[in-house]
Amino acid sequence: MAKQLYEHMAVGDRSQAASPVGLPQAIESNPCASSLRSPHEIRAIIESESRIFATDEEKFQALVEEWKSNRGPQSSASDLSMAFAYQQIVGMGGAAVPLILAELEERVDHWFWALSAITGADPVPESGQGIMKEMADAWLQWGVKNGYR
């Protein structure tokens, strides 16, 4: 793959052929790729900056704060779920589920899309669809039933 990349670059611009940039060097020089260096770091982008957190809980709380501070009072459910901070929470996968459920227990909010996206479940009965309190109760019961609470 790297050889093909080099050959493609060399055909298009012969000046690069004399001193090619190797793929590892290109990755090292890319500031965006720095987050790929250590898979064990807990990272999130908060206020347009990459930050490292000590725990998933700290990351989650920072992302929740970012999500809530950047949303408008009239935001639609789809706008809320497409916010970058919310998407990063979804990207936390299963680690976010107990944290979301705890947040939902404290205050009913638009966590249903995230929970469904992460778990693949939808415990809300048809009669409860669109009714925030009933949706929250269904998810909290699901959490207990599935060992998250």
* pLDDT of 145 strictly over 70: yes
**Residue 19 located in a structural domain:** no
Number of domains forming the structure of the chain: 1
**Residue 48 located in a structural domain:** no
∠ CA 80-86-87, rounded to 5°: 115
CA atoms within 13 A on the CB side of 116: 11
Q: Which domain holds residue 139?
A: 55-145
CA 125 to chain centre: 27
User: How sure is the predictor about 78, in pLDDT bands with cuts at 50, 70 and 90?
Assistant: confident
Mean pLDDT along residues 13-39: 45
* pLDDT of 83 strictly over 70: yes
